Amino acid sequence: MTYMLEGYTYDYSVGERYSPIAGRTLRQLTLAVPGGGCKYWLKTRGQGCTFCGFPGLTRRLNLGDGRDDYFGGWRLDARIFEGMYRSAIENAEAADKLALFNGGSFFVDGELPPEFRHRFIADASRRPGLVQIMVESRPEYVTPAALDEAAPILGAGRDFADGAFGIGQPVRGNGFAIVEAHQSIAGKTVTVGAGEDVRARSDWLGSAVVSDVPAYTNSTLAVDVADLPVGYSLGAGGFDTHAPHKAGYRLRVGSDYSVSAYGTLLKANGEPVGLLTGTASPVDDPARQVAIFTNAAGRFGAEGLAPGRWTITMATEDTPTVFELTVPEGTDGLFRAGELRPARKG
């Protein structure tokens, strides 16, 4: 069925198709968007593949009638393609395969904006019901670089829950980064950059996409998240990058270790454990350590904890003093630990 968005025509429908890859019949959501003009067709000034009338059609749809001698391309904004995709994915009946047709080749920047392409892959690959995504392309545009561009977004990346970054997959031009929110802050708006220099922001499609991470140079992506739970710890609040040429990053903001706890440490006789340093470690993972300091009254604050049982070890005279702290399941952001007495000495 045909629809209109901001004066541009697109089409989507759901039907059953046999998939040789899945080995069964799938319910396929087919979305046809008016791409920016098939590169091959433009290059051959309208000769293209003899049977094909699609590029001429998208030219008429996007530019109007009377442009039969124009072969300069007519790519729409990423925003419009995203709107068409959103309309189809949200309004069509449930499907287990998604096919996107743009009247040319999916991986060509002049046909579909890279930012839309990245977000389309990122969103579609995370839809729980979808088992297959299909896009169209002439074979010469399905290059190793194009596939490597898609791989990290599809999920070949590592998990960066602690704020470190990793993975470098070759892509075209400068690197790019997909910045997504950890499940503990799912649905919050992630902003990459600050002030006048906002470089990307997440929206209904999920992740923020930074498409200009410089190669061969140190760079920092500052991140912020709107409406964080009080006390939620974002850790360093940014990612350091040093992208190899043509590299993509998949970064995650937030983590399970996002609880900030505060309370007071007292000795067995009720005196404060004042002006001392120590560490907090999960009972089942002693190697992970969070630094703790107390003031003169024994008050402490610790960032980067998670729900579960923790051991606090303070460097008291002679032998360390050990406290137990339990952060309840479901704690989000700030946890008031109250007064803690020693579990044991040494």
Q: What residue ranges bind ligand SF4 (CB under 6 A)?
A: 38, 40-41, 48-49, 52, 54-55, 103-104, 138
Per-residue CA distances from 230 to 31, 234, 292 (Å): 42, 11, 20
For residue 104, the minimal CB distance to ligand SF4 (Å) is 5
Provide φ and ψ at 16, rounded to 5°. -90, 135
Instruction: Using the minimum distance from each CB to ligand SF4, give the nearer residue, 35 or 342.
Output: 35
For residue 41, the minimal CB distance to ligand SF4 (Å) is 4
Per-residue CA distances from 233 to 181, 206, 221, 249 (Å): 13, 21, 17, 22
Instruction: Using the minimum distance from each CB to ligand SF4, give the nearer residue, 104 or 278.
Output: 104
Beta-carbon-side half-sphere exposure of residue 92 (alpha carbons within 13 Å): 25
Tell me the two tokens of residue 256: 């399970």
Tell me the two tokens of residue 1: 């069925």
Q: Which DSSP string corresponds to 21-51?
A: TTTEEEEEEEEE---S--HHHHHTTT-SSTT
State how far the Cα of 213 lies from the Cα of 241, in Å rounded to an integer. 8
DSSP state of 103: S
Runs of H (alpha helix) within 64-132: 78-91, 114-126
16, amino acid identity: E
281 membership: H or E segment, kind and range = strand 277-282
Instruction: Using the minimum distance from each CB to ligand SF4, give the nearer residue, 101 or 262.
Output: 101
Instruction: Using the minimum distance from each CB to ligand SF4, give the nearer residue, 35 or 282.
Output: 35
For residue 57, the minimal CB distance to ligand SF4 (Å) is 10
For residue 179, the minimal CB distance to ligand SF4 (Å) is 33
Instruction: Using the minimum distance from each CB to ligand SF4, give the nearer residue, 135 or 261.
Output: 135
Instruction: Using the minimum distance from each CB to ligand SF4, give the nearer residue, 41 or 74.
Output: 41
For residue 145, the minimal CB distance to ligand SF4 (Å) is 19
For residue 76, the minimal CB distance to ligand SF4 (Å) is 16
State how far the Cα of 307 lies from the Cα of 229, in Å rounded to an integer. 15
Instruction: Using the minimum distance from each CB to ligand SF4, give the nearer residue, 135 or 292.
Output: 135
For residue 101, the minimal CB distance to ligand SF4 (Å) is 9
State how far the Cα of 145 lies from the Cα of 111, in Å rounded to an integer. 17
